[in-house]
Amino acid sequence: MRKKIIAANWKMYKTPAEAREFMEKFVPLVAGHERDEIVICPPYVDIAAVVDGAKGTNIKVGAQDVYWEKEGAYTGQISPAMVVGAGCEFVIIGHSERRQYFGETDDTVNRRLEVALEAGLRPILCVGEVLEEREANITEDVLRRQCSRAFRGIGSNKAAKLSIAYEPVWAIGTGKTATPKIAADAHSIIREEAAHAFGGEFAQKLRILYGGSVKPENASELMAQEEIDGALVGGASLKPDSFAKIVKW
């Protein structure tokens, strides 16, 4: 049995004060919950508030991205060592919004993934097809390409901390959710690619999360699927009671 990871992706929501307020309400709601790993990925400037609020709890913290250089004249960028130093254990890499709005490519995803793993972070690599790709029946090709390019040059010894989130882009923030069958099919393609790159044993242990309009109402159906090893939750993670309900699916 793979322990599920229920992760919040706050995107560009909440000030530090709002993050603190969230933690005050959320922490008691999930106290003692050991069945799943709980992760919150806030904007960089909220990391301190969330790390502080999570002290002494089973809640882990992640960043939403990292740059691939260690340090230097890269105005506005944040390095893996910086987020580790700020108390993050996780980092999201290659989210579709980064790909769509900020010029992220399979190659830059690969560079970020490599440095994140090197820094000891636990990356949540996001892959997923857009609507046109699903309609053109090329979902499988897209997922295989995104995975194989992301994995390029990464040794299986380094990949141990990797998790993947399958996030069909047409389901993100739209209220549309992939059916458990669509998600399970995509997850087995991803698991095959992971087996190809890092070996069968690794692939069996790899956690593959589903993301895209996960809410309290659909969390238990999705999480009950054996192929789904957790959730990456955007909109429904912003309110303490809603995210707590998803955690307790």
85 contacts ligand PGA (rule: CB under 6 A): no
> Smallest gap, in angstroms, from Cβ of residue 173 to ligand PGA?
4
**What are the distances in angstroms from CA 51 to CA 34, 80, 124, 162, 228?**
19, 16, 18, 21, 27
Single residue of 88, 172, 186, 244 touching ligand PGA by CB under 6 A: 172
Window 173-202: residues binding ligand PGA (CB under 6 A): 173
102 contacts ligand PGA (rule: CB under 6 A): no
Single residue of 64, 110, 163, 213 touching ligand PGA by CB under 6 A: 213
Reply yes or no on whether 167 is catalytic: yes
Single residue of 16, 87, 180, 235 touching ligand PGA by CB under 6 A: 235
Contact 30/247 with Cβ under 8 angstroms? Answer: yes
Single residue of 232, 244, 246, 247 touching ligand PGA by CB under 6 A: 232
In this chain, which residue has its C-beta nearest to ligand PGA? 234
Single residue of 88, 119, 189, 214 touching ligand PGA by CB under 6 A: 214
159 contacts ligand PGA (rule: CB under 6 A): no
Instruction: Report the C-alpha gap between 62 and 64 in whole angstroms.
Output: 7
**What are the distances in angstroms from CA 211 to CA 71, 80, 118, 201, 215?**
31, 24, 25, 24, 10
Which SS3 state, helix, strand or coil, does residue 93 take? Answer: strand
> Smallest gap, in angstroms, from Cβ of residue 155 to ligand PGA?
28
Residues 6+ apart with CB under 8 A from 226: none
The four Cα atoms 99, 105, 108, 110 give a dihedral, to 10 degrees, of 100
Which residue's CB is nearer to ligand PGA, number 198 or number 243? 243
Beta-strand ranges (E) seen in 75-171 are: 90-93, 122-127, 163-166
Residue of 37, 114, 167, 227 marked active site: 167
Which residue's CB is nearer to ligand PGA, number 80 or number 211? 211
168 contacts ligand PGA (rule: CB under 6 A): no
Instruction: Report the C-alpha gap between 95 and 167 in whole angstroms.
Output: 8
Residues near ligand PGA (CB under 6 A): 9, 167, 172-173, 211-214, 232-236
Name the residues annotated as catalytic.
Answer: 95, 167
